[in-house]
Amino acid sequence: MRTAFPERLIIYHAGTGKTTFLACLKVTTLFLFGFFDMIMTPAYFAAGEPLVKTAGGMPTSHPPHLLQSRIANPTLLKSPSAASSPPSTSPGAPPPS
C-alpha cells in the first residue's frame, strides 16, 4: 500500500519556547484584529466620528497581522541549492515520479 508520506520522514521541531512564543503571537494578533476591526470601528461609526478618523483606525490591526503571518508561517522553504538538486530517496521509499 502506498502512503502519502515516506516511511522515514524528517520532522523539524523548533523547540518548545519558540513554538509557544509563536502561538501566543498568533493569539494576540487575532485579539488585536478582533478588537480594532470588530469593536472599535463600529463604535466609531455609531458615535458619529468623522469618516477619516474611523478609516484611520481600521488598518491599525493589519500590520501586526501581516507580520505574524509572514514570520510564523509553518511552511518550510527550500534553499535555492536544495531546490535544484534531485530529491534523495530513502530505503524502501517509492521512486519519485
User: Per residue in 59-97, pLDDT tens?
Assistant: 777 787 787 777 776 665 555 555 555 555 555 555 555
pLDDT in tens, 36-64: 888 888 888 899 888 888 887 777 777 87
Q: Is 28's pLDDT higher than 80?
A: yes
Sign for the pseudo-dihedral over CA of 32, 35, 40, 46: positive
Domain with 40 in it? 31-71
The total of structural domains in the chain comes to 1
pLDDT of residue 40: 85
Q: Would 50 be classed as within a structural domain?
A: yes
pLDDT of residue 70: 78
pLDDT of residue 81: 53
Q: Would 41 be classed as within a structural domain?
A: yes
Q: Would 13 be classed as within a structural domain?
A: no
Q: Would 76 be classed as within a structural domain?
A: no
Question: Dihedral of the CA atoms 79, 92, 94, 7 (nearest 10)?
Answer: -60
Sign for the pseudo-dihedral over CA of 53, 55, 57, 63: negative
